[in-house]
Structure 1
Amino acid sequence: MAPLRSFASTDRFLAEIASPTPRAGYILIGDEIFLYERCRKGVLQALVPPEMRDFCLNDIDLADISIFEILDRAQTPSLMAPFQVFFIRGLKNLYGRGSKKEEFAAIDAYFRSPNPQALLLFVADHLRIPTDLRRMDYQDKERFERIRETLGEWCGTVELARVDETDAVRWVTESAQARDTRFDPDAARELVDALGADMMLIASEFEKLLLYTEGRGRITLGDVETMVLAAKQRSLYELTDAITAKDRPRALALLHGLLNASDGGEDASIGHLYMLARTFRQMLIILEKNVRDSRAIWQVLWQGFRMPPFAAEELIKQARRYKSRRELTRALRLVARADLELRSSPANKLLVLERLILDLSAEAKPEALSSSTQFAMEL
């Protein structure tokens, strides 16, 4: 099979590391943790025997140790290990205020005559490299170019960019095949979409799914929807999309699908109401703060109250369908009323939920604020 395009930079790096003549230094640039861990694992396998790691593996941060001391250590042969590997984090400290002429002069002097028994790996994880380089943030692009113009003169550059969704799906299916398991194409696509192509999360959920389906040899869409929380959340955001678009038939169909996919069926309705209230509260803040792009979301929504990355742009779009704060507080009041009904043991929970969805999908009418507003906001 053809190699994955998103993995090309790391594949070249690992091939060089395993060759007889690797470079003396490399820059691992980007914050894609999955690719970074792939590079690190490859370096350790090729150059650092497990029994020698205490003596030849150095994890260093430029916030704690100067580049002069690091270069001195790298230049000095080790009495305990035949080869040394240095992972140097905090690279942004080398590009702070001031020209850093002395630091770069020391780096230049080292790489003119490097220690052949040492490898320096500079980790620039303060930059985010998107799948499409043309969409890189202007500030990150400036920093990227500056690193390439300075350290790039002596070191190889390994771009740890975000993994393309198509490559992520292929990775899932091919990794499953290597483990004698078939990962259904629609299930692989759902896993990647639900987790926003975040490869660290995908790899973690992939292992959970393998354990869940052990002995069966196949992973289906139902398995993903059962085991992966984000897949359930995706269905919820599809429901709020239908509600905010005032599409009643689609909203009711999505409600029934959400209940059918829930382990507890109608008995899980309180949990669904909690997530609905949480989503409408997020939209209320987005509307009040006039958020227009996903980056601003992380500034207005605090830790523990943020949506998954895949839902950020979608939720902004949904929030902007509301013209005023009054419309969103009305939605919260309706959810609060339904919550009270469900906690009062109604004869038919499904009817309560269906009525709620129909009311939420209807055009708002002017009404006075009820006494349940405060409860709705707390919900």
Structure 2
Amino acid sequence: MDMSYLQIKKDIKTGTIKPVYFMYGNQTFLMEDLLLDIIKKAVGTQDDPSVITYSLQDTILDLAIEEAETFPFFGGKKVVIVKDFFLVSTQKQETKVEHDLERLQQYISHPSPESILILMAPFEKLDERKKVTKLLKQSATVVECTPFDEKMLSAWLEDQARSKKFRFTADGKEHLLERVGPQLLLLASEMEKLALYVGDEGEVTGEVVDLLVARSLEQDVFALIDFAVKQRLDKALEIYHDLLKQKEEPLKLLALIARQLRIYYQVKEMTRRSYSQKQIAMQLKLHPYVVKLASGQSQRLDDQRLLQLLEACTDTDYAIKSGKMEKVLAVELLLIKVAAV
């Protein structure tokens, strides 16, 4: 049974905990977050002896199943965690350990009421042809831990704010996403800081975010191009020189500028071919929120202008590497070209 991360989180908080969880995807932060919620609700703390963790890299699955079948020594509940559950993955694993899947199948059919078995597969793709994958998808509580779309990201931010006892204004949430991007681990870290600053029942506005939250490098480059495209060259150069003061390498910044412009071109082209933003995100392996921002930005530049700027990036790279131009000045001149009508 496939359920969303937010629904599972809500269920755990209200005390609805399932006997077998199967978590998969590349957002390991979400897995760890749910794991902590389950442990907290079921036994209280991670240090509790009723929490037992195995890794399939060095342990046979039988041991974990046997542990789940054994009554907890001190009574109450037991949490058995199996990390690196690669048996469902398309990736080949170097391991000499043989695993008995029949025993897992029998356990899932009749799980122990005293145990909570959690299988964690930190892989982007599952091998849907495997019998074990089909079994888990049919019989376990399945949690897909993949990047959120815009709606889920917004709901997650609200949920995190509630748990930390503060609230966002609309521009507060928007500024936070603009500065940090859709990286959940970083967002969670920044929200700890915001919660401490505004206190219980406090309000996080755009101004508060601007005061406390530094932009990530990618977001800085996005803002830099945004200002240049809007012909606010002074602001673009201000961000550029701030990054240089932070010891960022001009060639690295040039590569990020070129990457951003390439994303604009690809998003523009795929939108023209009637791809949805979700489809574009999947094709380009980008977060849907990044695609949304790029879509708005790319409308300001026509195709010819974008191609000219991409060519200017290549020329700038060559001029620096061949020693024809000094690197700091070369990137500065490129920004002037971006800002030119």
Fold shared per TM-score above 0.5: yes
The aligned residue for residue 231 of structure 2 is 250
Identify if the C-alpha distance between structure 1 residues 187 and 120 changes in structure 2 by more than 3 Å, giving closer, same or farther: same
1:184 deviates by: 2.8
Q: Secondary structure at the match of 1:26?
A: strand
Distance 1:117 1:217, change over 3 A: closer
Amino acid at match of 1:326: D
Is the 2:309–2:338 contact (alpha carbons within 8 Å) kept by the matching residues of 1? no
For residue 106 of structure 1, what is the aligned residue in structure 2?
103
Preserved CA contact (<8 Å) 1:59 1:88: yes
Question: Which residue among 158, 162, 180 is the counterpart of 1:195?
Answer: 180
| 1:162 is aligned to 2:147 | yes
Alignment root-mean-square deviation, CA: 4.8
Q: Give the 3-state SS of the residue equivalent to 2:146 in structure 1.
A: coil
The 3 A distance-change label for structure 1 pair 66 and 320 is farther
Percentage identity across aligned positions? 16
Per the alignment, residue 39 of structure 2 pairs with 44
User: Partner of 1:162: helix, strand, or coil?
Assistant: coil
Cα distance per residue 1:180-226 (max 9 Å; x no partner)? 64533112112124333222221111111233445994433233234
Aligned to 1:321: 310
Please tell me the residue identity of whatever aligns with 1:10: I
Q: TM-score, normalised by structure 2?
A: 0.67
Q: Partner letter of residue 77 of structure 2?
A: F
The CA deviation string for residues 117-149 of structure 1, in whole angstroms up to 9 with x for no partner, is 22211112212xxxxxxxxxxxx2544986541
In structure 2, relative to structure 1, the CA distance for the partners of 1:182 and 1:76 (3 Å cut) is closer
Contact 1:224 1:231 (8 Å CA) reproduced:
no
1:46–1:222 distance in 2 versus 1, CA, 3 Å: closer
1:18 maps to which of 3, 12, 15: 15
Q: Is the 8 A contact 1:56 1:81 kept in 2?
A: no
Q: 2-side partners of 1:269 and 1:78: how far apart?
A: 55
1:54-73 alignment, distance < 5 Å = 54-73=48-67
Shift of 1:240: 3.3
Q: Which amino acid aligns with 1:280?
A: L
Shift of 1:250: 1.5
Q: Post-superposition shift, 1:320?
A: 7.5
| C-alpha distance in structure 1 between counterparts of 2:74 and 2:307, whole Å | 61
Structure 2 residue matching 1:55: 3-state secondary structure:
coil
Query: Secondary structure in 2 aligned to 1:167?
Result: helix
SS of equivalent residue, structure 1 residue 322: helix
Task: Assess, with a 3 A threshold, how the Cα gap between structure 1 residues 297 and 252 changes in structure 2: closer, same or farther.
Answer: same
Q: How does 1:30-41 map to 2 (within 5 A)?
A: 30-41=25-36
Distance in 2 (alpha carbons) for counterparts of 1:225 and 1:177: 21
Correspondent of 2:22 among 5, 12, 27: 27
Q: Could you say which residue in structure 1 is the equivalent of 2:270?
A: none
CA shift in 2, pair 1:201/1:286, >3 Å: closer
SS in 1 for 2:215: helix
Cα distance change of structure 1 residues 275 and 207 upon mapping to structure 2, 3 Å threshold: farther
Deviation of 1:106 (Å): 1.6
Which sits farther off after the overlay, 325-334 or 61-70? 325-334
Which whole-Å CA distance do the structure 2 matches of 1:157 and 1:191 have between them?
30
Asked if the contact 1:26/1:157 (under 8 Å) is kept, the reply is yes
Displacement of 1:154? 3.6
Which residue of structure 2 lines up, in the alignment, with residue 366 of structure 1? none
Unaligned residue ranges in structure 1 (runs of 5+): 128-139, 260-265, 299-308, 340-352, 364-379
Inter-partner Cα distance in structure 1 for 2:162 and 2:65:
44
CA shift for structure 1 position 48: 1.0
1:270 Cα deviation from its structure 2 partner: 4.1
State the one-letter code of the partner of 1:63.
Answer: Q
- Partner of 2:80, secondary structure, is strand
Aligned partners of 1:82, 1:185: CA distance in 2, in Å? 44
Q: Identify unmatched segments of 5+ residues in structure 2.
A: 267-279, 298-305
- 2:245 corresponds to which letter in structure 1? G
